[in-house]
Amino acid sequence: MVFSEIMPQALTLMTDVFGNYVVQKFFEHGSTTQIKELSDQLIGRVLALSLQMYGCRVIQKAIEVVDLAQQTKMVAELDGHIMRCVRDQNGNHVIQKCIECIPQDVIQFIVSTFYGQVVLLSTHPYGCRVIQRVLEHCDDPTTQQIMMDEILQSVCLLAQDQYGNYVVQHVLEHGKPHERTAIIDKLIGQIVQMSQQKFASNVIEKCLAFGNPVERQILIGEMLESTTESEPLEVMMKDQFANYVVQKVLETCDDQQREMILTRIKAHLNTLKKYTYGKHIVARVEKLVAAGEKRQGLQPACTAA
């Protein structure tokens, strides 16, 4: 009864602020025949609905539940409009859903649209999400290779970008060990500068969290290098972004490295207390030292200062 009343108005409901939920529910709980009938209504209108605030939700739900033949028919309508959808606040969700739910061979025309555009898309508020979905779901070696090559060519630029940094973080967290190593290799030599940059500092934290012990040693070594003019570690501890990287170092390093860093930090504790961001480090160090005392009987940081 409900379905037969709704069906004549299905298209109007799909783009309605409340009605779209009812149509989605039919895709979820309707019979096979009802789902088929509803998805037939979408044919010829997939692009328009994908770009509409409520229609895009219906399209996403349909992609999740319809069979492969219907998915293929629906996604074919987006051909030639992929970049428009990716850059659209509604359409990008549909593209993400296609990448998540439809077999790679069927959506290869979508993915190949991104070849040569990876950096451009990674620095876009919606494009960066789409690139992350490709990295997650498209394990085709050629696609992965093309994506990674483009990302690696511009790692430093992406790391400092307000959207691109999420793509680099994604690879560090979920990528293969050799991809992680390739990214860390590109960043070595500019760890201190990157740590002082709002977005790149998050990338450096991910390097510390997911890099292997050898890589972590190199990163920490760079922060502990002393020059005649300044000591990078001291500069970092007072910096509004880099102080979080130092905290991450203390979390992720081994006991020997921690000893060495704590010794360095203790020399600056009094000065650090005068800085807004330095105070974070002081608190973290005092906590660590207190925990260390229980284990090894170390001097408390506050008395050392």
Q: What is the pLDDT of residue 80?
A: 96
- Exposed, middle or buried, 2 (CB in 10 Å: 0-12/13-18/19+)? exposed
Number of domains the chain is built from: 2
Distances (CA, A) of 62 to 1, 29, 39, 111: 21, 12, 7, 20
**Is residue 16 in some structural domain?**
yes
**Is residue 233 in some structural domain?**
yes
**Is residue 209 in some structural domain?**
yes
Q: Kindly report the backbone phi and psi dihedral angles of residue 171, in degrees, each rounded to the nearest multiple of 5, phi listed first.
A: -65, -40
Residue where one domain finishes, among candidates 81, 112, 134: 81
**Is residue 140 in some structural domain?**
no
User: Under DSSP, is residue 89 helix (H, G, I), strand (E, B) or coil?
Assistant: coil
**Is residue 130 in some structural domain?**
no
Domain limits at 70? Answer: 1-81
pLDDT in tens, the chain (305 residues): 999 999 999 999 999 999 999 999 999 999 999 999 999 999 999 999 999 999 999 999 999 999 999 999 999 999 999 999 999 999 999 999 999 999 999 999 999 999 999 999 999 999 999 999 999 999 999 999 999 999 999 999 999 999 999 999 999 999 999 999 999 999 999 999 999 999 999 999 999 999 999 999 999 999 988 765 568 888 898 899 999 999 999 999 888 888 888 888 888 888 888 878 787 788 888 787 777 666 655 454 444 44
State both tokens at 249. Answer: 């170092």
- Selection from 51, 36, 141 nearest residue 95 by Cα: 51
**Is residue 17 in some structural domain?**
yes
pTM for this one? 0.88
Q: What is the pLDDT of residue 159?
A: 98
**Is residue 144 in some structural domain?**
no
Residue where one domain finishes, among candidates 61, 81, 101: 81
**Is residue 253 in some structural domain?**
yes
Residue where one domain finishes, among candidates 48, 81, 114: 81
